[in-house]
Structure 1
Amino acid sequence: MAKLADGLRVIDADSHMTERHDLFTERAPKGYEDRVPHVEQVDGKPMWVIDGKTFGKAGSGGTVDHDGKKHAFRASQGGSWTIDDVHPAAWDAAERLRLMDELGINAQVLYPNEIGIGGQNLRNSVRDEVLLRLCVELYNDAMADVQEQSGNRLLPMPIMPAWSIDDCVREAQRCAAQGARGVNMTADPQDSGSPDLGDHAWDPFWEVCAGLNLPVHFHIGASQTALAYFGTTFWPSQDHYVKPAIGGASLFQNNSRVLLNSAYSGMFDRHPTLQMVSVESGIGWVPFMLEAMDYELLENAPAWAKKLQKTPSEYFQSNWYATFWFETGRGDLQHLIDQVGEDRIMFETDFPHPTCLHPSPIEQVSDTIATLRPQTQLKVMGGNAAQLYRV
């Protein structure tokens, strides 16, 4: 392995933790044990059930087996695997910490799996807002315990009740009081019946997130709109195993619409300290999009451009972060990072998903990372994340 900068502290800004089957039931108040998410055998298969309705297979949430071998999506997570087939670190916090120690990772940011990466599977399955609010709180309380018990080495991003702006405000405040270092937000709350994020109705939520130092995270695939996009980008004639490769690659650039909309909306003029993170989307598309967003606005809406306090691309440098993992910059990663901005990039592994760096994430990227300036290495591999997440 190539020698990396002295003092390097690796923080993984995107990984996933599969929900334990008893995550909700062990905390449910009396009378709600059978209504909150739990696992039942349906036609011989383990299925997640909420309020009597199934909302998906109780799967593995990962592609890494007990021996640390990674498998194709269709043959594992997207196939017949259950939680018993995946590496225990995919769902057990103690095992995750042990694996992190083996891999040389100091801390990890965590996102959900079975309930939807943005928690959207809950809202899609039931309309009882009292039950939905309870489910959100149960999940976030469980994740707060994971964070506390790990000594802030595991940093789960709490999900937000996107169907209600007032509830989002209250839940963000509640989670911040429990020690949360950010929030996990869907890019499309309109899927749940709320206004889109550019609507001024969301200003109270942005104000709370900015004031409590809660960066707002937009993970790819964290809404029904995004997942529909995933399922329509490949040609029907493509091979069964190729389709998720096309869908996955398409999702990376799909996050650019959140960057575009937020920069054009004026929200950062009203909330200049608000921070957002584009998660698991890579960074290679960012330089082109920064140019495109400036050019397109001037060409199509010059009067609106004059209303903004900055050029659209400048909002990335002041209000956005992006994560990367397998990218090499086609042999010149330093040049790519300089174009994006070394203060606005964080490293991730995506464990235990199909594109994760496994079984040796640091070794896999060491040759490329070693080509970066020492200061850049320290920032993108952990320093930026340590500052953003206060660890």
Structure 2
Amino acid sequence: LCFPTFPRFCGQTFTEHPDREMGLACVKAYNDWMVEEWCGDSNGALIPLIIVPLWDAELAAEEVRRNAERGVHAVCFSEIPSHLGLPSIHSGFWDPFFAACEDTETTINMHIGSSSRMPATSADAPVAVAASLSFNNSMASLSDWLFSGNLVKFPKLTLAYSEGQIGWLPYVLERVDDVWREHRAWGGVKDLIPEPPSAYYYRNVFGCFFRDRHGLVAIDEVGEDNITFETDYPHTDSTWPETKQVAEKMVEGLTDEQIYKAMRGNAIRMLHLDLDKDVVTTPGLKRTAALDLLGE
């Protein structure tokens, strides 16, 4: 799954262009390149990830449906669209886009930095401060989504927090449930969220990680069905070229079933890939499929 760099993590570059006709043409050209050229002859090794015209939710929905017709099941979106000057996920503006994603089984992927703003304490803080806090927007975004009512309105919608890591999830899930139980009467969600927010996380959300031992230690709270492994190649945070060794160290103590889900199976399910039909039903193949296919 290859995220955009030149258009930025959810296509902000084209959204910011003042000429909407040109912006839409660029979005479609990028997606055509992604599907037909980048992924076209890879025999499934490369998975298409599209962008949409963020300035118009109806056009975004049309682009999701256009690409779903050629087998695409992943789209980029902003973790916090209001940071881009766009309507929030509470506004109702995005409903056509969300409906299209739900109808076509297209997962909404929110990469860190997709709101064009990284967490920081001050303008003169070392860059290392922002780098160490890179998961903060994912954490804020998840709370936003869990209290938005969108996962009630669109119960089959799927979200993924790309590079958001997972070690922070147990406390956030505990906290949102506490707030729901104790404060929902005055917190604006009494009639909006009928179940504890964590229920929607376990049903609709995937956390993505590349180096997060704490998250795997807490796999029972994070959810073995809710995590997917990634590499961040070719960025400087990447585990490459020691990806397999890093992965093997992180999953020590997990069952073969948990390793398979985290390293491969959940991603196959999340992206609706036609892979590993034999592995799912054949004992002993899960660990091999999960780790050996990462290479040496």
- Given that 2:216 and 2:250 are in contact with CA atoms closer than 8 Å, whether structure 1 keeps it comes out as no
Q: Which residue of the partner structure matches residue 143 of structure 1? A: 34
Structure 2 unaligned segments of length 5 or more: list them. 274-296
8 Å Cα contact 1:163-1:193 kept in structure 2: no
Q: Give the number of equivalent residue pairs.
A: 270
**Who is 1:184 aligned against?**
76
The aligned amino acid for 2:24 is: R
| Alpha-carbon distance, 1:355 to partner | 0.7
Structure 1 residue aligned with 2:178 = 295
In the alignment, which residue of structure 2 is the partner of 1:268?
A: 151
Are the equivalent residues in 2 in contact too, given 1:111–1:156 (CA < 8 A)? Answer: no
After the TM superposition, which residues 337-376 of structure 1 pair with which residues of structure 2 at under 5 Å, given as runs? 337-376=219-258
Match of 1:39 in 2: none
Aligned residue in 2 for 1:322? 207
- The amino acid that maps onto 1:346 is T
> 1:284, 1:317 → 2: CA distance?
15
Q: 2: distance between equivalents of 1:202 and 1:255?
A: 19
- Alpha-carbon distance in structure 2 between the residues aligned to 1:305 and 1:223: 25
| Residue 389 of structure 1: how far off its partner (Å) | 1.2
- Does structure 2 retain, via aligned residues, the 8 Å contact 1:234–1:247? no
The percent identity for this pair of structures is 29
Q: Give unpaired runs (5+ residues) of structure 1.
A: 1-108
| TM-score, scaled relative to structure 1 | 0.65
Q: Shift of the alpha carbon at 1:195? A: 2.0
Query: Displacement, 1:192?
Result: 5.3
Is 1:233 matched with 2:124? no
Residue number in structure 2 paired with 1:169? 61
Q: Give 1:254's match in structure 2, choosing from 137, 148, 162.
A: 137
Partner residue in 1 for 2:6: 114
Structure 2 CA distance for aligned equivalents of residues 160 and 187 of structure 1: 14
Residues 134 and 192 (structure 1), Cα distance of their counterparts in 2 relative to 1, 3 Å cut: farther
- Cα distance in 2 for partners of 1:294, 1:382 equals 29
Cα 1:191–1:165 change in 2 (3 A) is: farther
Q: Name whichever of 295-304 and 202-211 sits farther off.
A: 295-304
Q: Choose from 5, 11, 18 the match for 1:127.
A: 18
1:313 — aligned with what?
198
Deviation at 1:265, TM superposition (A): 1.1
Aligned to 1:215: 107
Shift, 1:305, TM fit? 4.4
Q: Secondary structure at the match of 2:228?
A: strand
How much has 1:322 moved relative to structure 2?
0.5
Q: Normalised by the size of structure 2, how large is the TM-score?
A: 0.85
Task: Name the CA distance, whole Å, in 2 between partners of 1:253 and 1:379.
Answer: 25
Q: Is the aligned partner of 1:153 residue 2:45? A: yes
- Within 5 A, what are the aligned runs for 1:27-176? 109-124=1-16, 126-145=17-36, 146-176=38-68
Shift of 1:191: 5.1
CA 1:167/1:191 → structure 2, altered by over 3 Å: closer, same or farther? farther
